[in-house]
Amino acid sequence: MKYLKIFEDLNETLYQEIQNMIDSNQFLKGKVKADKSTVYEAGEYILLLGDLSHITDAHVDETIPGSKFEKGVDLKKAIISLVTNNKPTEMTKGFGTSETKVSNPDEAEKFKWLGLDSKTNVGVENVQKLEPNDEEFKSMNVYTYKDSRGNEFNIKVKEGDGEKTTFLSFIGAKLGKIGDKIVLSVMTAFPGKNGAEVANRNDFMKQGYYFTTTSKEVIENSKGQLSESKLVTKFSDFNETMQFAVLQNAKNLHDEEELRRKKKETSQEVKPEPHPEPNNKPNTDMESEEGEDMESEESQSQIEMEEGQYENLRHLKSFKRF
């Protein structure tokens, strides 16, 4: 088939030109050699396709969320067919948060064929979509995983099988040009079309995408609503702060009451014997003692109330994790 034509007629000078592009690229240098087993013509493009097992393997393991390639899929053939028979759906320049779309191929650094039909069975689609406010979506558990670079992502997961698909996405990075043909190296490829436009994997949840999986490990390690877990953490912090405040207040009241009692006892020890007073004169000492006793009882009641609040918070704290 024409789109599978290998550049057998290319001379060593042309292969060397592509090899020079490889050697000047920090991500490719020493990892791939330009020859008839890695250089392919695909319509308006020349593709550098070395060993793609790192891509197929990453999309086979059930413990890694995402759509899966069929075991034994000829990914090179599928990519060449996709690029040959379709225009790029998107071209961009820049990387990460600075990545922007462009319309001029000479300006572009990435060429993307997203969610297009490769006309051949490539794997299983495990990415599905609901409205973000849908009750079913909101009730799904959240699974946290790390990619090979250590980046952490949160996604919604649901137990279940995916659907077979012929749709494929391919992203190539521009290495340069030979004549009027742009030379691309493979950045990534994945089966399916749902969510192909999502650049940041943390945006899957925001846009209502979820992942079906048959992995018990993923299901068992998934958790309830992420927002709920954050709420529990915040409540825990508030609970501990309130606990400390109530305990400190109770201690201060207790210390003040002890100091008041000691002053009263000291005052009674040094107080001289009272002289008889006329019957009509009110006994102010008795009234003073009664007032202090009433104040002491009120303080004690407040301490007991504060300690009761502390006890309630302590019991409440035992229910903060669920």
Does any domain span residue 257?
yes
**The dihedral of CA 87, 89, 94, 100: what is its sign?**
positive
**Do 74 and 178 share a structural domain?**
yes
Q: Which residues of 41-61 are buried (b: 16+ CB within 10 A; e: fewer)?
A: bbeebbbbbbebeebbebbee
- Pair 243, 312: CB distance under 8 Å: no
Q: Which domain holds residue 249?
A: 226-261+296-322
User: Per-residue pLDDT for the chain (322 aa), expressed as one digit of tens each?
Assistant: 443 344 445 567 788 899 999 999 998 999 999 998 999 999 999 999 999 988 887 767 677 778 889 888 999 999 999 999 999 999 999 987 789 999 999 999 999 999 999 988 999 999 999 999 999 999 999 998 877 778 888 899 999 888 999 999 999 999 999 999 999 999 999 999 888 778 777 788 889 999 998 888 888 888 875 433 333 334 344 444 445 455 556 556 666 767 777 776 676 655 555 555 555 444 444 444 444 444 444 445 554 554 454 444 444 343 333 3
Beta strands at 45-48 and 39-42: parallel, antiparallel or unpaired: antiparallel
Q: How far is CA 244 from the centre of its chain?
A: 33
- Pair 154, 203: CB distance under 8 Å: no
DSSP secondary structure letter of residue 195: T
- Pair 240, 318: CB distance under 8 Å: no
**Do 319 and 179 share a structural domain?**
no
pLDDT of residue 189: 93
**Do 81 and 230 share a structural domain?**
no
**Do 46 and 89 share a structural domain?**
yes
**Do 254 and 317 share a structural domain?**
yes
DSSP secondary structure letter of residue 244: H
**Do 194 and 60 share a structural domain?**
yes
Does any domain span residue 320?
yes
Does any domain span residue 137?
no
**Do 99 and 63 share a structural domain?**
yes
Where residue 124 falls (left for φ over 0; alpha for ψ -120 to 50; beta otherwise) is beta
Domain count, the chain: 2
Report how far apart the first and last C-alpha atoms of the chain are (Å, whole number): 60
Does any domain span residue 313?
yes
**Do 175 and 111 share a structural domain?**
yes
Does any domain span residue 213?
no
Alpha helices in the chain (DSSP H): 12-23, 53-58, 75-85, 135-139, 203-206, 216-221, 226-270, 284-317
Structure tokens at 246: 């109530």
Does any domain span residue 117?
yes
**Do 184 and 79 share a structural domain?**
yes
**Do 66 and 171 share a structural domain?**
yes
**Do 195 and 237 share a structural domain?**
no
**Do 185 and 44 share a structural domain?**
yes
Does any domain span residue 231?
yes
Residue 183: what are its φ and ψ, rounded to 5°? Answer: -95, 125
pLDDT of residue 245: 53
pLDDT of residue 181: 94
Does any domain span residue 277?
no
